[in-house]
Amino acid sequence: MSSPIELNDGNFESEVLKSDKPVLVDFWATWCGPCRMVGPVVEEIAKDYEGKLKVGKLNVDESSQTAVQYGIMSIPSLLFFKGGKVIDQIIGAVPKQHFVERINKILQ
């Protein structure tokens, strides 16, 4: 069973930017309430789309360099990467269906 990859400043390029699959990155922090609400949805997405979509979580407190590089101002921020570029984003806690619609568009 697939679960989100723990991302950090050190592995972000190899895991996300050089990925041959689209990647969903959850920028979060332990103290963030909405992040804890989105967490289980991100876990489900990792399982539901195993083999089609790579899913990772990046703690903004531990990897601030990457968060700053992508202009993350509020969390949770979920960025979709394809071919090393940001192609979509979701900011804030949203229902799972919202993610599913975006992901299905990206995977078409």
What residues act catalytically? 32, 35
Nearest to 61 by CA among 34, 29, 91, 32: 29
DSSP 5-74: EEE-TTTHIIIIIT-SS-EEEEEE-TT-HHHHHHHHHHHHHHHHTTTT-EEEEEETTT-HHHHHHTT--S
DSSP character at residue 75 = S
Tally Cβ neighbours within 10 Å of residue 45.
Answer: 22
